[in-house]
Amino acid sequence: MLPSASARARALQPILDVAGPEIDRLHQLTPEVADALFENDMLRLLLPKSLGGQEIHPVEFCKTTEAVAWGDASAGWFVNQSNVSAASSAAAMPPDAAAAIFNGKRTGLAWGSKNNTSKAIRVEGGYRLTGTWGFASGSRHTTWIGAHSAVQNPDGTPHIRHGRPDDRSFVFLKSKAQVIDDWNVLGLRGTGSDTYTVEDLFVPDEHAPNRDAPEERVLTQPLYSISSHLLYATGFTGVTLGVARRLLETLTELARGKQGRASPTPMARNNAVQKEIAQLEAKLSAARAFLHEAINEAYDGAVAGAVTLDQRMRLRLATTYAMGEATDVSVACYRAAGTTAILASAPFERRFRDAMSASQHLQGMSAHLEMVGRHIIGTENAAQFL
């Protein structure tokens, strides 16, 4: 029997750890790391079993992205991005089309964030897609890429489907796009999140799912009742927890043998250091426990027939809160390590940059907390990203 996904991820940590600096330098995963992820079937974690996937529980998925990110954050980011993109697309595609795309261990799907400048024109049998998208995390390691766009009729008016403006994700071969190598950033450099462009590309209906439209969902298993927004949030939060855990473990190891120049006692015997490490452990563990609890509640709702608004709000709260706590722990570890933390040769600097970059993602924005607060109070609210 195949070991659990999180166990396989932990087994990959040594190779990820060694390759981390080179991944950072190359702005993409090394061939050895990419091959290891493929061979350990780390890109079909959420795909349905009917497509050769593993269809794992979202708590196990969160633990898996956490374990991968402990070794390297960019690899963890890629695992999450590709898995959720693939599974949410397959859930709303005709089975034959999904099977043709997601047809082996080396499958993967990358795409960038939605913007308001793209154009998808409804035509017979599909769409004519034009636009430019950025942040295509992991696209240097996938055959397939995709893009999100609102749909227009040929006369320029919004295309209406299911009683609302039509908004779709378009999946096509990466070779059909012009890719721009422009990923020059603070952290998560190894994600290679490039920009790409297509011009008047025909995308057939079967490759253009509306991923979060209940009317178009083909897969009925509980996992696919959880929105792509919340699945992304779950996995990315796992990444931030993995980075924070690694920094906290690194700080703890440093404290066992270092004496700061400004302190009369070694770090290990310094009461302030002892207290801070205990508090950071509690902070990180509590955020992780809340996250897993909220994921379980949402999944239980899916098993019962529907994920309620309360359950979705609670999962959004747990993911946003845990990302914030993980960021705070990462910052605290960097600060506590003193000048050791700024050395490129030490294990803090790169992971700190990764943590700061992850903290800027949409999934960690404080606006989510405001939305959940309005829901709890019961005031007028616009529910988003749920």
Query: Considering the chain, what is the average pLDDT of its residues?
Result: 95
pTM score of the predicted model: 0.96
pLDDT at 321: 98
d(Cα 74, Cα 87) in Å, to the nearest integer? 20
Domain assignments of the chain as residue spans, ordered by start = 5-101, 109-214, 226-377
As given in the structure block, the two tokens for residue 123 are 């035509």
Fold observed for domain 5-101: Butyryl-Coa Dehydrogenase, subunit A; domain 1 (1.10.540)
As given in the structure block, the two tokens for residue 254 are 């440093």
pLDDT at 119: 94
d(Cα 76, Cα 73) in Å, to the nearest integer? 5
pLDDT at 263: 66
As given in the structure block, the two tokens for residue 108 are 């993967």
Q: pLDDT, tens digit, for every residue of 89-141?
A: 999 999 999 999 999 899 889 998 888 899 999 999 999 999 999 999 999 99
Residues of the chain short of pLDDT 50, as ranges, are: none
Q: pLDDT, tens digit, for every residue of 153-181?
A: 999 999 999 999 999 999 999 999 999 99
pLDDT at 217: 93
Q: At what angle do helices 309-336 and 271-304 cross, to 10 degrees?
A: 160
What is the CA 359 to chain-centroid distance, rounded? 12
Fold observed for domain 226-377: Butyryl-CoA Dehydrogenase, subunit A; domain 3 (1.20.140)
Please, are residues 354 and 74 in contact by the beta-carbon 8 Å criterion? Answer: yes
Give ∠ CA 363-86-68 in degrees, rounded to 5: 60
Fold observed for domain 109-214: Butyryl-CoA Dehydrogenase, subunit A; domain 2 (2.40.110)
CATH topology identical between 5-101 and 226-377 = no
Beta bridge partners of 132: 197
